[in-house]
């Protein structure tokens, strides 16, 4: 399979602190990959570099062999990368459907004049966008909630809505920042199933940050481990699980290596 996203030696410095230190990651098209590491390891910082929120001091980010460094985040989204956030950042006052419609912003092209005049084409486009929005909500499992204001949704549904909004821009790569954080086992199950369906039915490559080891180990084909901004391991879940550096730096020496382990630093 081809490499969709290639992160090459990316470095991000805040003041004197090197948050991300020469990190390399390759994400193959059509895979589900994970990024793990203790809190403050630089995972979200790396995501922010990928989506253009931060600009890395050094290194190169290639998406479909084109550089993303220096692009604005909306340009990166236009290239086909969408993301969710660790601390849910929905447009709280808008309804679920409206959130997904904002997600589709880039895919709508009707001019503002046509919006004022409500031309047939603009109306058709809006209708289609609403239709797509409802389909996406159905897809993530929020079918009946289209008209609910985002802040009034339950926590787990808000996470799902973030995914639906991200899907609105028809991404090829979806970055999920701790999609299962704070969810109960049933909701986690749903989220994992959703990730599989994302890849299989939508053809979206998934790259996620996660603390729940059960999720990480069971779902991903490739795991990258960060510690203090440096990549300390990467590979298949089993390899990473067996890697003594990972065990030492991340899981802690006293944790059994081969059980279903969960992160201890919640």
Partner 1 sequence: MPKSIKTGLIAFAFLSYLILVGLPGRTGGNALPLLAFAAALFFWYRLRRESRTQSRLVPQSGAAGQAKPGWEIGHGPQAQVQTGAVTRGGFPLRVLTQGAAAGATAGLLIAIVSAVFAEILGNGVAIQPVFDKIVPVNVAALLGVSPGAVAEAQVPPLRYLISALYFTGGGILAALAVLAGMTDAARAAGPTQWRSRLSGPAFTSAGRWLVIALPFALLAVVIWLGLPGVSLFGNDRSTVRLLFTLIATGSGLFALRAATPGRERLAVSVLIGLGVLCMPFVLDQFQNSVMGIVFIFVMMGLGLNIVVGYAGLLDLGYVAFFAIGAYTYAFVSAPFSSPYISGLLTGLGVPADSPLLGYWMALPLAMITAAFGGILLGIPVLRLRGDYLAIVTLGFGEIIRLFMLNLGELTNGPRGILEIAQPDLFGLAPEAVSGGLLSSQGWIFLLALVSSAAIAFVAIRLNDSRLGRAWIAMQEDEDVAQATGVHLVRTKLLAFAIGATFAGLAGQLYAARQINIFPENFSLFVSIDALALIIVGGIGSPAGIVLGALALKGLPEVLRGVDEYRIVAFAALLVIMMIVRPAGILPSARRRFEAAAEEAGAGEIAPEADETFVKKQENDKGTGADGEKGAMP
Partner 2 sequence: MAGRSTSAQPLQLDWATVQKYAIRAFGFTILAIVLWRVITVGLAEGYPASFWISQALNGLVLGGVYALVALGYTLVYGILFMINFAHGEVMMIGGIAGFFALQFAQARGWMEGPWLVVVIALLSIMLIGMAASVLIGVTLERLAYRPLRQAPRLVPLISAIGASLFLQYSVLLIFGVSPHSYRKPELISGGLRLGDVFIPYTGAIIFFTSILLMLALYFIIQRTKLGRAMRAVAEDRATASLMGVDVNAVIVLTFMLGSALAGAAGVMLGFHNTVVKFNSGFIPGLKAFTAAVLGGIGNIPGAMFGALLLGLIEALGPSALGIPTEYKDVIAFTLLVLILIFRPSGLFGEVLSEKKA
**Which range in 51-59, 184-192, 207-215, 245-253 contacts partner 1 by CB under 8 A?**
51-59
The rounded distance, in Å, linking the Cα atoms of 140 and 105 is: 19
Would you say 178 or 227 has its CB closer to partner 1? 178
The rounded distance, in Å, linking the Cα atoms of 189 and 228 is: 30
Task: Choose, by CB under 8 A, the member of 12, 43, 159, 165 that binds partner 1.
Answer: 165
Enumerate the β-bridge partners of residue 23. 10
- Give the nearest distance from C-beta 1 to partner 1 in angstroms: 27
The reply on whether position 26 binds partner 2 by CB under 8 A is no
Q: Which does 59 bind (CB under 5 to 8 A by kind): partner 1, partner 2, none?
A: partner 2
Would you say 34 or 48 has its CB closer to partner 1? 48
- Give the nearest distance from C-beta 90 to partner 1 in angstroms: 8
Residue 205 tokens, joined = 């490559």
Binding to partner 1 (CB under 8 A) within 117-156 occurs at: 117-118, 122, 126, 129, 149, 151-152
CA distances from 18 to 46, 71, 249 (A): 12, 22, 18
- CB atoms under 10 Å from CB of 94, counted, come to 16
Q: Which does 205 bind (CB under 5 to 8 A by kind): partner 1, partner 2, none?
A: none
- Give the nearest distance from C-beta 24 to partner 1 in angstroms: 24
Task: Choose, by CB under 8 A, the member of 45, 77, 158, 220 that binds partner 1.
Answer: 77
**Which range in 34-42, 63-71, 130-138, 199-207 contacts partner 2 by CB under 8 A?**
63-71
The reply on whether position 116 binds partner 1 by CB under 8 A is yes
The 3-class SS string of the chain reads: CCEEEEEEEEEEEECCEEEEEEEEEEEECCCEEEEECCCCCCHHHHHHHHCCCCCCCEEEEEECCEECCCCCHHHHHHHCEEECCCCCCCCCCCEHHHHHHHHCHHHCCCCHHHHHHCCHHHHHHHHHHHHHHHHHHHHHCCHHHCCCEHHHCCHHHHHHHHHHHHHCCCCCEEEEECCCCCCCHHHHHHHHHHHHHHHHHHCCEEEEECCCHHHHHHHCCEEEEEECCEEEEEECHHHHHHCHHHHHHHHCCCCCCCCCCCCCCC
Q: For partner 2, how many residues bind (rule: CB under 8 A)?
A: 13
The reply on whether position 187 binds partner 2 by CB under 8 A is no
- Give the nearest distance from C-beta 24 to partner 2 in angstroms: 7
**Which range in 67-75, 78-86, 120-128, 203-211 contacts partner 2 by CB under 8 A?**
67-75
Residues that bind partner 2 (CB under 8 A): 8-9, 22, 24, 55, 58-60, 69-72, 75
Residues that bind partner 1 (CB under 8 A): 51-53, 72-74, 76-78, 82-83, 85, 89, 91-94, 98, 101-103, 105-106, 108, 110, 112, 115-118, 122, 126, 129, 149, 151-152, 165-166, 168-169
């Amino acid at each position: 399979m081809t490499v969709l996203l290639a992160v090459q030696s990316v470095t991000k410095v805040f003041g004197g602190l090197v948050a991300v230190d020469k990190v390399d990651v390759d994400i193959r098209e059509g895979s589900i990959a994970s990024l793990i590491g203790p809190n403050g390891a630089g995972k979200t910082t790396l995501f922010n570099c990928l989506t253009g929120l931060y600009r890395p001091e050094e290194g190169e980010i290639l998406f479909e062999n084109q550089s993303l460094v220096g692009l604005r985040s909306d340009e990166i989204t236009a290239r086909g990368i969408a993301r969710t956030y660790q601390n849910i950042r929905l447009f709280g006052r808008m309804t679920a459907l409206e959130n997904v419609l904002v997600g589709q912003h880039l895919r709508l092209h009707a001019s503002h004049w046509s919006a004022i005049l409500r031309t047939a084409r603009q109306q058709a486009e809006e209708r289609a966008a609403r239709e797509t929005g409802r389909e996406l909500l159905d897809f993530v499992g929020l079918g009946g909630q289209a008209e609910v204001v985002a802040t009034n949704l339950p926590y787990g549904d808000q996470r799902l809505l973030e995914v639906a909004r991200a899907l609105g821009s028809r991404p090829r790569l979806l970055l999920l920042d701790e999609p299962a954080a704070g969810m109960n086992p049933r909701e986690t199950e749903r989220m994992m199933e959703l990730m599989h369906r994302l890849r299989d039915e939508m053809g979206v490559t998934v790259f996620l940050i996660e603390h729940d080891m059960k999720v990480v180990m069971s779902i991903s084909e490739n795991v990258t481990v960060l510690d203090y901004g440096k990549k300390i391991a990467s590979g298949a879940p089993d390899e990473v699980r067996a890697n003594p550096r990972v065990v030492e730096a991340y899981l802690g020496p006293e944790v059994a290596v081969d059980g279903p382990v969960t992160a201890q630093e919640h």
